[in-house]
Structure 1
Amino acid sequence: MEKLNNPKIENIEGLKKHKVLKVSEMALSLDGEYLGEIGNPSYREKSDMFEYDSDIGLLIKGTKNEAFVDKNDLVKVPHDLGQVTVDRLLSGKDGIYSGIEFHSKIGEIYRNIKDKIDKISFLAEIMDIEFDQYDVDFAIKKVAKENNEFTPEDLIEKVVEVLKEKSNNSEKVSEALDKLKNSGVLDSELAKNRDGIINYFYLYLNIKGIDASNSEEILKNGFEKFRFLDQLISEYKSRPDGRFGDALLVACSEQEKEWKKIS
C-alpha cells in the first residue's frame, strides 16, 4: 500500500482536542459532520472506504464526504463506553477496510467492554449488592465529567469505584474487587484476559463458598449459576492445562461431555 500524504495533519499534535469518529444508526460522522453509512450489509458501499497508514493516519472515503484523521484521533465506542484511538481500533496495522469491516471492529471493542462490565455486575449480584444499568450510567457520567475523552479502561475503573462506594467501602467487597482487578479478566491484554476467566471463576467459587478442590461440587453447584461458563469451557477446550487445577479440569471435561450429548 502506498504511503498516504495529506498536509491537513501537519500540526495535529498542537490541537487541544482530538477529532472523534462516531457511528450512530450506521451513519459515520466526524465531529458531527456526516461522512456516509457503514456496517449495513444491504448498503452498497466502497470496499476501500477506509485506508490506514500507521505512520500518518486514516483516509476516509465516505459516500457523502471525505476526511483524514490522525492515528491518535478517536473512535467513539457505542453507548458511551469510551473512546479508543484509530490506531488501537485497527491494531496498528496498515490496510484497506470496507465500511462493514470497520464497523465490525468497533463492535468487537464494544462487546469486549460490555463483557467486562457484565462481569463486574455479576460479582455484585453474587455478593448481594444491587448494581444495575443505572449504576453503570452513573459511572459513565462521572468519568465523562472528569475526562470527556475517557478510554474504556477509565470507565471500567470508574464502574469498580462506584460498586465499591455502593458497598459503603465494605472490606469484604473491596478485597473481592482487588482480586477481580488482579485476576486479569478486566485486562485489555489478550493473554492476561484469557487466563482471567479461570481466575474469575475461582473468585466466584470463593465468594459462594464452593469447594474448589471437589470436581463434583464444582459441577453441581459451581457451574449451575456461573454466567460465563461458555467462556470458561471455551478456554478449557483451547488450552486444558495446569492453570485450571485438577478438580476444575475434571469438571470442565465432564461438562463438555454433557454438552456434546445434548448438541
Structure 2
Amino acid sequence: MKTRKKTLKISFSTPKGGVGKSTMTVLLASALHYRLGYNVLVMDCDFPQHSLANMRERDLKTIMQIDYHKKIAMKLYLRINKKAFPIISCKAEDSLAKAQEYVDQLSIKPDIIFFDLPGTANTKGVLTTLRSMDFIFSPITADRLVMESTLSFTKAFIGLPETDEHNKEQKILLFWNQVDGREKTGIYEVYQSIVRELELSVMNSKIMDSKRFRKEADGTPNSIFRSSLLPAELQLMKTTRLDKFIEEFIKIINI
C-alpha cells in the first residue's frame, strides 16, 4: 500500500472521562496498522498516567508469557513485515513538536498520527494540539452529563477565534459509543435531534457496548480485542460493530 503524501493528525477527544477515547485510539491504531496495511504513530499525551504506553508494557509481558499470543504475534509480524506501531509518551504541550521530530527521522512516513490527549481542556497544550488536528472524533453516550459536556465543549471549541495553529479544514464528528442494545431507540432519536439543531455531525455507525472494551488480552483463544500489539479478532469486531465503524472512519478521512 502506498503511503499518502500528507500524514493525517487525528484525535479521539472528549471532555468527559470513561467514554472510551484511549480505548478507541488503540483499537483503531491496531486495526489500521496490523490488519489494513497503514502505518500508524501514537502520541500518548495523557500525562501523567500515560495509559497507552503502560498498556504496551502489559501487552509485551502478555505475549512473552502466553504461548497462544506468542504464536499469533509471530505469525502476524512475519506476514506484515513491519514492527509494532510506536507509542511516544509526552505532554500535550510538546506533542506536536515531538511527533514532527520523530517523523523526520523515518524513511517511511506514517499515514496517521493519533494524539491521545487529556480530557481536561484547560491542561496546557490541549487546545493548541486539538486545533491542529485534521480530524477530531468525539465519543458520546446516551447519558445526560456526557451529552451536555460534549456538546457544550464542541460548540465552544468550534466558536474559538482563529489562530495561526488553527487547521481551517478540520472536521469534527461525534459518534455513538457504548450503545446498549436494550435501550429504547427513542432516547437516541431525542439526542440526535438536539445534535442536528446544534448543526453538529454524527457518524452513522454505532459501537455496541461490550465487556471486551474493559478487558485486555488474556490466554483465551479468539479473545484478543484491546491490544496495542495485535489487532482485535474479526468476530469480536463484528459483535461490537467496530468493523462498520472503521469502514466509515476510512471513508471520512479519505485515506
Per the TM superposition, whether the score is higher than 0.5 is no
Which structure shows the bigger proportion of residues in helix conformation?
A: 1
Greater relative CO, 1 or 2 (CA 8 Å, sep 6+): 2
Give TM-score scaled by structure 1 length. Answer: 0.23
TM-score by length of 2: 0.23
